Every structure is written in C-alpha cells, then in structure tokens.
Chain A
Amino acid sequence: MNLINRKELLERIDGDMDFLEEIAACLSEDLSTYIRTLDQGLQTWDWNAISTTAHAIAGMVGNFCADEVQNAAKVLEGAADSKNCDETSRANEQLKEMLLDLGIELNTLISAGKGAGN
C-alpha cells in the first residue's frame, strides 16, 4: 500500500497530526455518504449523480496527496460522462477498493505519527 505521498502530505499540513486526524475523520464520514450515492446512481444509471460524486471524491482525496486514488475517481467521472455502463461499473469497483485502502493507510499513518509524537 503506497497510495499516499506521505512526505508531501506532511509538508502540506506542517506535520500537524491532530489536524490530519481531524480531516481524515471528515474523509471517512463524507466517503460513506458518497459511496452510498454512487451505488444508488449505478442502480438507476443516474449519470449526473455519478459524475458529480466522482468529481467531489477526486477533489477530496486530492487533499491527501493520493494521486492514484484521485485518478481513479477521475476515470469514474469520465466513464459516467460518456454514459458507458461497463466502464462505469468497473471504475466504481476499483475506486471503492482504493478508497478502502486509502482509509487504512491514513489510519496507519496517523497512529504512527501520533505514536512518534508521544
């Protein structure tokens, strides 16, 4: 797992692990809503909802220096914009997996960072 560019992320937040923990909690909360919206959108092929949500996720994960995850969200946005069912389903699955991994990697990073701080 190396989805996060840790050096860049820590620079961006000035090594403030409490703040990282705060925004990671926001990510976790918001992602569960976004994933639900994506799943519902895929059930009804609501292309606009899928595209908008994928765009929002791309922006959000960008804050964590997770370029690969951001690209996966952009792929989903593009697939929804072109109304391609197969590609959209595939991109959605891939993104969900990556988001799960991102959450784990973030938790690990925070625990390690806070442990080091203590």
Chain B
Amino acid sequence: MSDIITLDITEPNKEYIIKQFNGGRGFINRIESLGLHINQIIEKKAGSFLGGPIVVKTGHLSIAIGRGMARKIAVEKVLK
C-alpha cells in the first residue's frame, strides 16, 4: 500500500492506475463524468506550472485537472 501516491506528484509519461478519489460526492461526480474512474490507467503529460493544472491522458482522452483536485486522486504505479 505504501506505493500509493497522489496524482500531482506522479512521474510524467509513466502509467499509473487510479485507486481512490478522496473527495465528496460532488467532486467524484464531476471527475467521473469527465471519464476518469477507479482502476483506470492514466499517464501524466504535463506537470503543474506555478500551481496550475496538470494534464493527464487516458486512452484518447486528455484532461486538465487543477492541482488541488489532483491531490485528491490516489494512484499507484503500474509495474511492468
């Protein structure tokens, strides 16, 4: 379990799997309706700049997520 980190501090261009959303129902609804869900594999494409959003990619979908929200998303590195 110690390998679980938050999305904002992941390494770019490496695959991670979403483990948990640490937020209220409203937050989870918004995140899920944009297409992110538990057990999904994502890759960070751009890191935060001056506290700005990070960009993640999953399949053919790119999503920009504010850093505060990214901190609420727990992920685990996919081992190859």
Is chain B found bound to chain A in the same assembly?
no
Interface residues of B (CB under 8 A from A): none
Interface residues of A (CB under 8 A from B): none
